Amino acid sequence: MKRYYRVMLGKGSVYADECKRDGFIGADFGIDQDLTGKLPEEWRVFNKQFIPVYLQKYPNKAKVAAGLACGFLWTITKGIKQGDTVLSPNGQGSYYVGEVTSDYYYVPGQTLPHRRKVSWYPNLISRDDMSDSLRHSAGSIGTVSNVTRYGDELQKLLEGKAPAKLISNDESIENPTVFGLEKHLEDFLVANWGQLELAKKYQIYEEDGEKVGQQYETDTGPIDILAVSKDGKELLVIELKKGRASDYVVGQTQRYMGYIKDQVAEKDQLVRGLIIAFEDDLKIKRALSVAQNIEFRTYKVHFSLSKI
């Protein structure tokens, strides 16, 4: 099955034009060795081997940063297959799109030395033409984002057919309209984090001054927001209900918390969960009554028109 990935080509898409011109995607992450023959089928095996290598070069980095870097590197070098489609923002509101045409190869001493060849298409996809949910996934923070569930929409965009704006391919979504509203809530929370009560104790996880905690990738999907306490003792998994069945989001949050506990948290670092929704109901109350370390909060939206 063809898969689709959004790949950042350098911070701020600084290498996008070079990659488009020379027909490749690539990554660096400070792993200065040829990975040929060292790319297992399972990313966890790769991370176990190369997280120590990364931390040896960057001893001041946290385990979560090392896991992110190695996971992204494995995805670009191994996880993405020949025939998969990649989208890369060009820094001007559009995406270069192309098909991966080679396995991994290494070009030492060059820009993004861990590379894959790509046959780039002549036409671009404008961010403005994307549905809200695809725009969010394609714009998520991090080097790589899997956007395969939007494959049909992406193909239509490549054919010049822009879809309706409210689209959800997630079978757990009950109400796409609410999904769209709460997607904007996520962006609002991130943009206005400093004004929230949560900001007194937590901050969105950052790496090198860049927030990487929004849409934090796991092996069962992206976490809406990953935060860390200012004393570094707690990691907080924040999930928005996003129109989902209420008891579904409890199980989803628990899965994400389990991943963070097993793969990200440092020794003695606690993992907690927070679910935010417009309202509660009996199903979520029942589910949360036996869910440990998960808090639930509701939000309110206020809108008014002022006469001038």
Return the number of other C-beta atoms located less than 10 Å from residue 245's C-beta.
Answer: 15
pLDDT band at 173 (very low <50, low <70, confident <90, very high): very low
pLDDT at 140 over 70: no
Q: How far apart are CA 179 and CA 99, in angstroms?
A: 30
Predicted local confidence at residue 302, as pLDDT: 63
pLDDT exceeds 80 at position 245: no
When pLDDT is averaged across residues 130-135 and rounded to a whole number, the result is 82
pLDDT of amino acid 166: 45
Q: Where are the domains of the chain?
A: 4-158, 176-298
Q: Residue 264: pLDDT above 60?
A: yes
Instruction: Find the Cα–Cα–Cα–Cα dihedral 55, 61, 67, 72, rounded to 10°.
Output: -100
* pLDDT at 143 (0 to 100): 87
Six token digits for residue 201: 């104790």
Closest C-alpha among 187, 14, 4, 157 to residue 91: 14
CATH no., domain 4-158: 3.10.590
Alpha carbon distance 295, 280 (integer Å): 12
Highest-confidence segment of 69-83, 156-170, 210-224, 254-268: 69-83
pLDDT at 181: 55
Q: Residues 286-303, buried b or exposed e (16+ Cβ, 10 A)?
A: ebbeebebbebeeeeeee
Strands (E), the chain: 4-7, 24-27, 85-89, 94-100, 105-106, 114-120, 125-126, 144-146, 202-204, 206-207, 210-211, 214-218, 221-229, 234-240, 270-277, 294-298
For residue 121, what are the contacts with CB-CB under 8 A and spacing of at least 6?
96, 97, 98, 99, 158
Give dist(CA 44, CA 41) in Å, integer. 9
Distance in angstroms (rounded) separating the CA atoms of residues 133 and 127: 11
- Residue 241: the pLDDT is 80
Distance (Å, whole) CA 6 – CA 140: 9
**pLDDT score for 180:** 52
**What CATH code is assigned to 176-298?**
3.40.1350.10
